[in-house]
Structure 1
Amino acid sequence: MYKSSYPKTFPENFLWGGATAANQIEGAWNIDGKSLSTAEVVRKSEDRHQMSMDDVTRESLKNALLDQTDQYYPKRRGIDFYHRYKEDIKLFAEMGFKVFRFSMAWSRIFPTGEDEKPNEAGLNFYDCVLSELEKYNIEPLVTLSHYEMPIALTEKYNGWSKRQTITAFNLFTGTVFKRFKGRVRYWLTFNEINTGTWGFHETGAIDGNLSKQDQLQIRYQCLHHQFVASAIATKQLREIDPKAKIGCMLARMQTYPSTPNPKDVRAAQLEDEKNLFFTDVQARGEYPEYMNRYLAENNVEIKMENDDQNIISKYTVDFVSFSYYMTTVTEADGKEQANGNMATGGRNPYLKESDWGWQIDPIGLRITLNAMWDRYRKPLFIVENGIGALDKLDKGRIHDSYRIDYLRQHIEQMKEAISDGVDLMGYTMWGPIDLISFSTSEMSKRYGFIYVDQDDSGKGTLDRIKKDSFYWFKKVIASNGEDLS
């Protein structure tokens, strides 16, 4: 007789931790041989509700390269993790981190993208970071490309629009795989690869002066080149370090139909397909039929070489990771827009919003986990989730009960999804220490368990201060997700 059972708690080997990106924490943008990256030429937004990521033009790029300061480009200064990594990792260890997600800045290791030899100072820095993580038994989860392409590749090839960038990227990936063999068990190729449909920050291609049709053409061509590069990186890793695992990373943009009207249901389905297309290619190994229709109807012709589809099919990822911040609703005839992590969609009257208008939907995370597990049957990893807030110092303390509430509700839904049968590897919240906001390049939008004394203009001591949520998350990890009080 078959007796049904199901898991009622997080697995013993669950990976609890936090996630960052080099361009938002490291600083040291002009020392030790590093070059500017695509993230570091995007000018700071003057409106914290207005995302400034893809409005780069040839003229603005020229001005950014001439500007040798960080006044208008805060990602250049970050929070000085480059010099304070030991202090920061010690704080992560105090919380009990099992894993720390960070990126190895491509532009720090290959400043032009095509250098004959890698920059040894850059490799040495990541050697030191890994040694510090090893000291505390913290597993590294390394992102290979987190909007940090050397800007020289934009100047020479207009980013990923040319196939030469594939060669440059895989020179970088092969180098770090060999250098850090046996020290990194988990890798990610492209951070939030689907955001390449928005343009420059992911593709490195300047296309703002083009028609919508030409923008679609160049962006999907760039993304195809990234699919190929990701598959080649997967092949490289399996040959160089077969015990390691590699995953893809999606900005998950769960949407609901605004009404039961079949037109709205179909519109939501189409939005979901456009989002999941990227993981379909990287996890299933082929362009899905629905996307073939979309590309054809929009007159987008992907230029492929003979072996492209074969390598994409043969070298699919080992696991699927994603960011989750919010959900939206979709209506066939349009609706009032809500902004989020590079996502726009209709407002949901049943949800509350953050200070930045991001709709908070913990149950949506369970819905997402179940849907993605059913679709891919590969281990899932939540590698970004968190809430940006205007934290205030109160007699040297930060009482961030709102952050604790947000994370508690999402972790509760993760546990429910695990009970539903989802194979969930881990959870790295974004970002465990206050950092420069990617979308607006401000410091005021704080996510961390650790407060950093720096304002939007870069002034401050850079002292690290533990928030109330620091002690709460320490308790969560120690209890393996059981104590959420």
Structure 2
Amino acid sequence: MKRLPIFIALIALSLADDINPRKFPKTFKLGVANAAPQIEGGWNEDGKGETIWDRFAHKHPEKIADRSTPDVACDSYHKYKEDIALIKAMGLDHYRLSIAWSRVLPTGYTDKVNKAGVEYYKNVFKELKENDIKPMVTLYHWDLPQPLQDQMNGWLNESIVDVFGDYAKFAFETFGDDVDWWITVNEPKQVCQSGYGTGGYAPGVVGSGVTDYSCARNILLAHARAWHIYNELYRSKNKGKVAIVVDASWSEPGSDSDADRAAAERATQFEVGLYANPVFNGDWPEVVKRRVAERSKMEGYEESRLPAFSEREIAYLKGTSDYLALNTYSTMMVSAAGEAPLTASFEHDKNVRYWAEPDWPKDGPWWFYDLPWGLRKFLNWLKRTYNNPEIVVTENGYVTGDDTLEDDKRIHYFRGYLSACLDAIYKDNVNLTAYTAWSIMDDWEWTGGYTSFLGLYKVNFTDPERPRIKRKSADFFAGVAKNRCLLDPSECID
């Protein structure tokens, strides 16, 4: 027993040795994120229109874990100055936030502008500028104006490409002097597969393997429309960048077998390539096209359920991302599976089996594992697959099972994942330029309601004042920003 402390010390030392001691490059940006529908509240104040998530939460409370709504959320609509002060106090470089489409254009169309909504975001951007915090702004973070869903079936109608283009042009024109770091659509995979596929997310459309692919096509063309508008009308003046966010867990082959390696690659192409490949390489990934075409034929369809891009559209899509924006939180093992039943389904088309090792560390949902090596592998995959693009991590963070302020597990997660970023930069020459932690504070986590805790700051949702309460991880992240390093400053290497 006397040897135990030495043994523990050796383990601690070996773990410390795994943390990269290098300082982040001087140009590397560290920031935090959240999104309008999750923190703003003020859901019907000052002329804001209804969104599909407002309708979904109000009409289907049984689909929200705690039957809650985003009506008030963190009340950032009224407390944005306090939120920005927290970011300033942490010494961070940027804040990723979103514009609520329906707050500035209540019907979704540019013929009806809500001046109070425009003024709100003007004030937010002014506050950020005065505090030397760079805004990273998302145009669409899942909150489609409800009239567009009612009148045109939302993302399933190809006319939305031009409607979104008009909205993007309005935003670029209105806020272009305040913002030069743009994201068109956050996580189109979730929008399409959950919102227009399984129906688990707003607007609750069910049609997996058919409608989710139509959604994907329209979102990608809408993104390209916005990119071209910026490129042609605003880039020379505002010198900004525009991208679309992709999201996934890293898919690790379940074994060294060819079948498992192919399954892992197929999973990543269906999860990431479906949205990244068209904007970087011009078309759907080959494995996705082949799989959906083959299964569609066996299922009796006259043509593939995956709608093709024309040659003109391929040319229009290719090159419409100035950087690669990545949301990622975890890793899953992926193995080959027997051929799925011949019914239309995105999961059947992908046809893999996900699993996790029983000893993988987690503290919340079953898929939220603390495995930083997966991030490094993911970043290298993106580098190889898309010709070494600039990569920005636009979301990464850790969910805990309770709202404790002593969130050492979150600190462990951030330290490991940030170290993986340093490894990717210095050891693998990945062109990674920024990292954004999710989230600045606890929020309304969609169907998870207020039961998931991801914030550097706790929010007391039972208090009408919605106080922000600092967690231990906030001090850790502030220390990283100050020292530009993950270890004690005396141990850091320039």
TM bucket normalised to smaller: 0.7 to 0.9
Q: Which residue of 1 aligns with 2:6?
A: none
Counterpart contact for 2:110–2:167, Cα < 8 Å: no
Q: Counterpart of 2:56?
A: 42
Write the letter of the residue equivalent to 2:291. Answer: Y
Residue aligning to 2:299: none
Q: Secondary structure at the match of 1:160?
A: helix
Residue type of the alignment partner of 1:373: K
Q: Do residues 248 (structure 1) and 247 (structure 2) align?
A: no
Does residue 12 in structure 1 map to residue 20 in structure 2?
no
How far the C-alpha of 1:333 sits from its partner, in A, is: 3.1
Report how far residue 35 of structure 1 moved.
1.3
Question: Which of residues 353, 364, 369 in structure 2 aligns to 1:355?
Answer: 364
Aligned to 2:282: 285
State the alpha-carbon separation in 1 of the partners of residues 373 and 394 from structure 2: 17
Q: What are the residue-to-residue correspondences of 1:196-275 with 2, within 5 Å?
A: 196-200=191-195, 206-208=204-206, 210=207, 215-242=208-235, 243-275=239-271
The answer (yes or no) to whether the contact 2:210–2:305 under 8 Å persists in 1 is: yes
Matched, 1:25 2:42: no
- Residue 328 of structure 1 corresponds to 332
| 2:198 is aligned with 1:187 | no
Q: Is the 8 A contact 1:388 1:447 kept in 2?
A: yes
Q: How does 1:57-206 map to 2 (within 5 A)?
A: 72-200=67-195, 206=204
Q: For 1:470 and 1:389, locate their aligned partners in 2 and report how far apart those are by CA, in whole Å.
A: 15
Give the superposition deviation at 1:415: 0.7
Residues 374 and 350 from structure 1, CA distance in 2 versus in 1: closer, same or farther, beyond 3 angstroms? farther
Q: Deviations over 1:404-460 (max 9, x none)?
A: 111111111111111120111111100111111134112x321112121114xxx55
Aligned-residue offset at 1:196:
3.7
AA of the residue aligned to 1:300: R
Secondary structure of 2:392's partner? strand
SS in 1 for 2:121: helix
Following superposition, the deviation at residue 140 of structure 1 comes to 0.4
In 1, Cα distance between equivalents of 2:392 and 2:196: 23
Structure 2 partner of 1:421: 429
Q: How does 1:442-457 map to 2 (within 5 A)?
A: 442=450, 444-455=451-462
Q: Deviations over 1:124-170 (max 9, x none)?
A: 11101000000111010001111011011111111111112112111
The corresponding residue for 1:65 is none
Q: Give, in whole Å, the separation in 2 of the partners of 1:205 and 1:465.
A: 33
Residue in 1 that maps onto 2:320 = 316
RMSD over equivalenced CA pairs, Å: 2.6
* Cα displacement string for residues 37-59 of structure 1 (whole angstroms, at most 9, x for unaligned residues): 12223339989xxx859xxxxxx
Q: Sort the Cα spacing of 1:233 and 1:306 in 2 relative to 1 into closer, same or farther, 3 A.
A: same
Correspondence for 1:383: 394
Partner residue in 2 for 1:471: 475
TM-score, length basis structure 1: 0.84
On the 8 A contact 1:285/1:316 being kept in 2, the answer is no
Amino acid at match of 1:224: R
Contact 2:109 2:163 in 1 (8 A): yes
Contact 1:365 1:410 in 2 (8 A): yes
Deviation readout 1:370-419 (Å, 9 max, x if unpaired): 111122211001111111114456xxxx2221211111111111111111
The whole-number CA distance in structure 1 between the counterparts of 2:68 and 2:270 is 32
1:4-49 CA distance string (max 9 Å, x none): xxx95421011111010100000000111111212223339989xx
In 2: Cα distance, 1:344 partner to 1:90 partner? 45
Take 1:219 and 1:320, find their aligned partners in 2: how far apart are those partners? 22
Q: Percent identity?
A: 28
Per the TM alignment, residue 306 of structure 1 is displaced from its structure 2 partner at its CA by: 7.2
Relative distance call for 1:88 and 1:280 in structure 2 (3 A) is same
3-state DSSP of counterpart to 1:428 = strand
SS at structure 2 position matched to 1:187: strand
Query: Is the 8 Å Cα contact of residues 39 and 201 (structure 1) preserved in structure 2?
Result: no
Task: Work out whether residues 154 and 204 of structure 1, in 8 Å CA contact, stay in contact via their aligned partners in 2.
Answer: no
Q: Deviations over 1:450-475 (max 9, x none)?
A: 121114xxx55411221122221111
> Does the 8 A contact of 1:451 with 1:466 survive in 2?
yes
Q: After superposition, what is the alpha-carbon deviation per residue over 1:345-380, rounded to whole angstroms, capped at 9, x for unaligned?
A: 212345222222222211101111111112221100
1:345 aligns with 2:349: no
Q: Which amino acid aligns with 1:262?
A: D
Change in CA separation of 1:139 and 1:157 when aligned onto 2, cut-off 3 Å:
same
Q: Deviations over 1:162-197 (max 9, x none)?
A: 112112111110001011123212111111112244
Q: TM-score, normalised by structure 2?
A: 0.83
The aligned counterpart of 1:63 is none
Deviations 1:310-368 (A, max 9, x none): 3112x52010011111111122237xxxxxxxx99212345222222222211101111
Q: Secondary structure at the match of 1:383?
A: strand
User: Would the alpha carbon gap of residues 469 and 132 (structure 1) be closer, same or farther in structure 2, given more than 3 Å must change?
Assistant: same
Opposite residue 28 of structure 2, the aligned amino acid is F
Q: Please tell me whether the aligned partners of residues 365 and 413 of structure 1 are also in contact (alpha carbons under 8 angstroms).
A: yes
Check the 8 A contact 2:80/2:124 in 1, yes or no.
yes
Q: CA deviation at 1:241?
A: 2.4
